[in-house]
Copies of this chain bind each other. A is one copy, B any other.
Amino acid sequence: VIALLTDFGISDSFVGIMKAIILTIAPETVLVDLTHAIPPQDITAGAWALATAVPYLPPDIIMLAVVDPGVGTKRRAVAICWGRRIFVGPDNGLATPLLLAEEPDKAIILDRPEYWLEQPDSRAISSTFHGRDIFAPIAARLAHGFPFEFLGSKIDTASLVRISWERAYRDGNIITGSVLVVDHFGNLITNIGSDLVAELFQANDINATVGNKQVHARALSFGAGPEYEAFWYPDSSGHAGIAWRNGNAAEILGITRGTSVRVCLY
């Protein structure tokens, strides 16, 4: 199984081309789209989407992830391996949460053009679509059984690029964090992670600000939330989220990604 995550959108045939290439090289592959709607060039949003999905992927998954503002520059193209789990994509921090969650076994730089796409009509490899020309063929060859080490030169896993990946922290009875992402429903997912979520929901009372808004209510499901008021809920990602019952919290509150969050526990 190859899981795909990109910022390519679905209005062009970029993703379809990558899939066609994979199925040409490895016809038995099963393809799963995580999402292709990562905001263009937004490595952090891509890393978050990947982090959310990873615990639910099959153990021998190949993650083909392409959010790649540096395509065609000197940023490295890499494959990273944790046991039977492999990441294929640019070395620009997209894999950060995976690297933080578990130290990888090994990594390679994709420096062997003989395993890239054989260009039709003897075109040169593109400098703008390595998803097609490098990453998809490499993922397909891995799925097809090529040994990891054949596809590139070994590199030190400590050299892999990591982006800043801040989690909310607690200081006394104050949790300080921010809004990590706004989901399709307009729920605000914060970086208040599994260690602090329980405290937020078990406190007798809370006093919380999100940007310039107050959000005091708490509920364990959307349906149990108050009407006409934003409320905290335990998001399925394991983080604390803010929702509006039958409404779009982000739009109603006017809150966007990155907004700071402060929760006082009582």
Contacts and interface: CB of A to CB of B under 8 A. Distances in A.
A122 to B, nearest CB: 11
A231 interface: no
Contacts of A17: 34, 52-53, 56
A20 B56 contact: yes
A20 B58 contact: yes
Interface centre among A52, A57, A117 (most CB of B within 10 A): A57
A65 to B, nearest CB: 11
Interface residues of A, number: 71
A8 B41 CA distance: 23
Given A56-B17, A246-B41, A72 B184 contact: no
Interface string A101-133: 000000000000000010011010011110011
For the complex of A and B, list the 10 residue pairs with the smallest distance between their C-beta atoms, beginning with the closest.
A72-B221, A129-B236, A9-B184, A73-B223, A16-B34, A55-B120, A11-B37, A126-B236, A127-B221, A13-B34
